[in-house]
Structure 1
Amino acid sequence: MRRHSWWKRLHWPEYGAEFLGTAFLVFAGISAVIFDFDPSLPPVHILANTSLRMLLTGLLFAGSGTLVALSPIGMLSGGHINPAVTLAFWIQGKMHHSDLAGYLLGQFLGAILGSMLLVLVWGKHASTISYGRTVPGPDYPLAFVFFAEVGLTMLLVLAIFVFVSHHHLMRWTPFMVWILVAVMVWQEAPISGTSLNPARSFGPALISWFWQDQWLYFIAPLLGALLAVGIFRLLTRGERDVLTGKLFHVPHYRSVFKNVSAPCKSADEKPYLNI
C-alpha cells in the first residue's frame, strides 16, 4: 500500500501555487506587451517614444512576478515561477528531487494556461505581438543572443542568491528582482526578448506552434542558473549559504525546502493560505 501512496506525500499545494503564479506571470506580463505595443491601442500613440514604452513594459512585466512573490501563493511555494530559479535552488541543495519535478511541471503547465488565456482574452490583439514569443533580434548573431540570455539569467539568479543569503536583504528580494528585470527588459529586449525563463518562452511557442531557435530559451537560462550557483559558491567560499528557498519568506507559512535556516512551519504541516 505504501508503494501506491507515494503521491500523497508530495507537496501538491506548492506545485499548484507555482502553476497559478506562472500562469499569472505569463498572462499579465505579455498583456503588458500587447497594451504597450499593439498599434491599435492608445499607448503607441500617446507615448511615441519606444524606449519609454519598453521601460514601462519592463516595469509591468517584472512587477507581475513581484506580485506573485508577495501573494499568498508566492509565500507558500517561494514564487520561483521560473525553471531556472528552481534549478538553481536544487543545485544548491535546497530542494528534494520530487519537488524539483513538481515545481517544473507546475511552471510549464502554468505557462501554457497563461498563454491560452492571453489568446482567449486579447484575441486578434495577441497576434500583433506574435503571441508574446521570445525570438532573437534580427540584427544580432545567434551566438550573441545565446550568451546574452546566459549572462542575464546568471545575473538574476546570482542577485537572488545574494539577497536570500542575508537576513537584512532577503525581505527585499522581490523588489530587487522587479527593478533588475525591468531594466533588463528595457535595455535588452530587442536582442533576445529577455526571456530568462524557459517556461515563459515555452507557453507562447506552444500555442503559436513556433519553434525556430526556441532551443536557445531552454538551454541558455538553465546554463545561466548553473553558472550563477558556481559563482555564488566561489564568492562565498562556503562561509555563507542561502537562508531560504523563497523569494519572500514569512515564518508562518510552511516551507518544503531543505537545509535552510530561516524560521518557518514544518513541511509536514498544512499550508497556510490566507486568501
Structure 2
Amino acid sequence: MWRELRMVAFYRAVFAEILATAIFVFFGLGSELNWPEKPSVLQTAITFNLAAATAVQIAWHTSGSHLNPAVTLAFLLGSRISLARAACYMLAQMVGGIVGAAVLYEVTPEDIRGTLGTSTVRLVNVSSGQAVSIELILTLQLVLSYLVSTDSSRNKGSPAIMIGVSVALGHLIGHYYTTCSMNPAKSFGRSVVVGNFTKQWIFWVGPLIGAILAFVFYSFVLHHDPKTFAERLAILRGSYDAEPSEKEKDQPTDSVSLPMSMPWKNIDGFSCF
C-alpha cells in the first residue's frame, strides 16, 4: 500500500478523477437547468451521454475514468484496484462533484440555476422504496457496462462510447422517477452546493447496492475470474507486480506477480482500466 502511495502516477490518477468528474457534473447538470426553453428528456440524456464519453476519454489512460463511487466499489470488489486507490478515488469523485456543481452554480443566473436539478423523487406517488429500486436497476446496467467494456481481454479500445450510451439509457428512463442519479458523487456535489440533502440516502443506497449486484453478476455468472486469493489480497494491498523485471524474476519476492493474461494492464506503475 505504501509503495503505491509513493508513486507520482497515483496522484495523477486521483487528480484525473477530480477533473473528469467535475467536467461530467458541470455539463450534465447544465442540461437540467430551468431555462425559459426547457430541455427535453432526450436532450438531457444526449448531453449526459456526451459528457460521460468525453470525461471517460479524458481520464481513461490516467485513472481508468471511474467518475462514480459505485463504479469504484465494483472495481474494488472485483480485485481490479487496491483499497487505498478505491478510497482516494471515491474522495476525489466527491470533490470533483462539488467543484463541477459549484462552477455551474456560479456562472448561471440566479433565476435559472435554482437547485441545479437536485436529485429527488419527482412524483408524490413514487415511494422511497421504488426510488431506491430504480436507482439500483439503472446503476446495475451502468456498472455492468463499465465492467464489460473495460475488460481488456475482451475489448482493446476506449470504453467511452459504450459508457456514454449506458448513461444516456439510464437518463431516458430514470428521469421520470428520480431525475436519474446513478452516481452518488453527482448527487452529493450538487446537494452540497445548494444545501439540499432531501432524501439524499436514496442516491447512495440504490447505486451502491446496484454496483454490488453488478459485481456479483459479472464475476460469478457472466465471466470467470481466475485470480487466486493470494492475488486478490496482493491487489487489495497494492503490493502486486504486474510486469516484474528480469532481475526480479530470478529473485524471491513477497509480492504476487499476476499472469500477463489478466484483463487489465499496468501503466506508469499503477493499474488502470
Q: TM-score, normalised by structure 1?
A: 0.78
Give the drift of 1:9. Answer: 4.0
Q: Distance in 2 between matches of 1:263 and 1:143?
A: 40
Q: Distance in 2 between matches of 1:237 and 1:123?
A: 49
- Contact 1:164 / 1:173 at 8 angstroms: preserved in 2? yes
- Residue 127 of structure 1 aligns with an amino acid whose one-letter code is R
**Cα RMSD after superposing both structures:** 2.6
The size of the alignment, in residue pairs, is 237
Q: Map 1:45-194 onto structure 2 (within 5 A).
A: 53-71=40-58, 73-128=59-114, 130-138=115-123, 139-165=125-151, 167-171=153-157, 173-194=159-180
Structure having the larger proportion of residues in helix: 1
Q: Which moved more, 1:175-184 or 1:14-23?
A: 175-184
Structure 2 stretches of 5 or more lacking a match? Answer: 228-256
Q: Map 1:249-264 onto structure 2 (within 5 A).
A: 260-264=262-266
Equivalence for 1:15: 14
- Contact 2:57 / 2:158 at 8 angstroms: preserved in 1? no
4+ residue segments displaced more than 4 Å: none
Q: Distance in 2 between matches of 1:26 and 1:214?
A: 17
- How has the CA–CA distance of structure 1 residues 67 and 240 changed in structure 2, closer, same or farther, with 3 Å as cutoff? farther
Q: Distance in 1 between matches of 2:20 and 2:187?
A: 15
Give the drift of 1:199. Answer: 0.4
- Residue 35 of structure 2 aligns with an amino acid whose one-letter code is D
- How has the CA–CA distance of structure 1 residues 123 and 231 changed in structure 2, closer, same or farther, with 3 Å as cutoff? same
- How has the CA–CA distance of structure 1 residues 268 and 206 changed in structure 2, closer, same or farther, with 3 Å as cutoff? closer
For each residue in 1:58-84, what CA deviation from the matched residue of structure 2 results, as whole angstroms up to 9, or x when unmatched?
11112111101112x332111111000
For each residue in 1:38-57, what CA deviation from the matched residue of structure 2 results, as whole angstroms up to 9, or x when unmatched?
22xxx43xxxxx7xx21111
- How has the CA–CA distance of structure 1 residues 7 and 237 changed in structure 2, closer, same or farther, with 3 Å as cutoff? closer
Give the drift of 1:267. Answer: 1.1
2:58 counterpart of 1:38: no
- How has the CA–CA distance of structure 1 residues 125 and 114 changed in structure 2, closer, same or farther, with 3 Å as cutoff? farther
Identity between Structure 1 and Structure 2 (%): 24
SS at match of 1:75: coil
Q: TM-score, normalised by structure 2?
A: 0.78
- How has the CA–CA distance of structure 1 residues 54 and 90 changed in structure 2, closer, same or farther, with 3 Å as cutoff? same
Q: Distance in 2 between matches of 1:114 and 1:80?
A: 16
- Contact 1:136 / 1:191 at 8 angstroms: preserved in 2? yes
- Contact 1:119 / 1:126 at 8 angstroms: preserved in 2? no
SS at match of 1:131: coil
Q: Which moved more, 1:80-89 or 1:172-181?
A: 172-181
Q: Distance in 2 between matches of 1:205 and 1:122?
A: 16
- Contact 1:66 / 1:175 at 8 angstroms: preserved in 2? yes
